[in-house]
């Protein structure tokens, strides 16, 4: 699951009582990426076998290798764009949500957890089962990049850890 809860049982006021880290799911882990590119390279060589020794080889080769280079670039770009981390920290007197992204400045939201309302928008949001936190005069999204089922699980966890329920 692309989020985890980190409990803190020390009771120290400096450390949050609960902390959650959320990140986008990766369908192709980086360790499988090399195998995928190698397999694609081998498959792209099949159309070249009959052309070995003929001038047609030099006509096909740039297009097939360009396809491989474009695929490599697109997957690397997807990895870079997906470098998002949301951190939710809950103390007895405050809640802090920070969103770290490679391309943007860190966004943060802070409120008193006693007044924070967790809402699950089953329909009508940008995605199904959209989860928001409302407090301190703002409503912020959390975990929009998670799957539908993961957002429902996140809502249930947040409802358990925060005093008010949406």
85-122: pLDDT as tens digits: 999 999 888 999 999 988 889 999 999 999 999 999 98
CA distance 96 to 75: 32
What does the block give as tokens for 8?
Answer: 């803190």
- Mean pLDDT, residues 126-149: 91
The one-character DSSP state at 49 is: G
- In order of 12, 88, 98, 115, 141, the CA distances from 109 in angstroms are 22, 10, 7, 14, 10
Give tens-digit pLDDT for 42-98: 999 998 899 999 999 999 999 999 999 999 999 999 888 888 999 999 988 899 999
CA distance 160 to 158: 5
Number of alpha carbons in the 13 Å side-chain half-sphere of residue 95: 23
All residues at 6 or more sequence positions from 43 whose CB lies less than 8 Å from its CB, including other chains: none
Average pLDDT value over all residues in the chain: 89
Candidate CATH numbers 1.10.10, 3.30.300, 2.30.29, 2.60.40; the one for domain 3-24+82-161: 2.30.29
Please tell me the pTM assigned to this model.
Answer: 0.75
């Amino acid at each position: 699951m692309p989020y985890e809860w980190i409990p803190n049982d020390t009771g120290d006021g400096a450390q949050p009582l609960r902390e959650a880290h959320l990140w986008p799911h990766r369908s192709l882990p980086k360790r499988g990426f090399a195998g995928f590119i190698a397999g694609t390279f081998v498959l792209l060589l099949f159309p070249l076998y009959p052309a070995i020794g003929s001038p047609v080889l030099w006509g096909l080769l740039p297009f097939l290798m360009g396809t491989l280079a474009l695929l490599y670039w697109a997957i690397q770009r997807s990895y870079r764009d997906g470098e998002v981390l949301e951190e939710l920290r809950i103390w007895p007197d405050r809640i802090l949500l920070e969103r770290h992204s490679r391309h943007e400045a860190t966004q943060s939201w802070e409120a008193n957890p006693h007044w924070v309302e967790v809402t699950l928008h089953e329909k009508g949001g940008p995605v199904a089962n959209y989860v928001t936190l409302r407090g301190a005069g703002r409503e912020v999204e959390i975990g929009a990049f998670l799957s539908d089922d993961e957002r429902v699980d996140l809502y249930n966890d947040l409802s358990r850890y925060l005093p008010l329920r949406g």
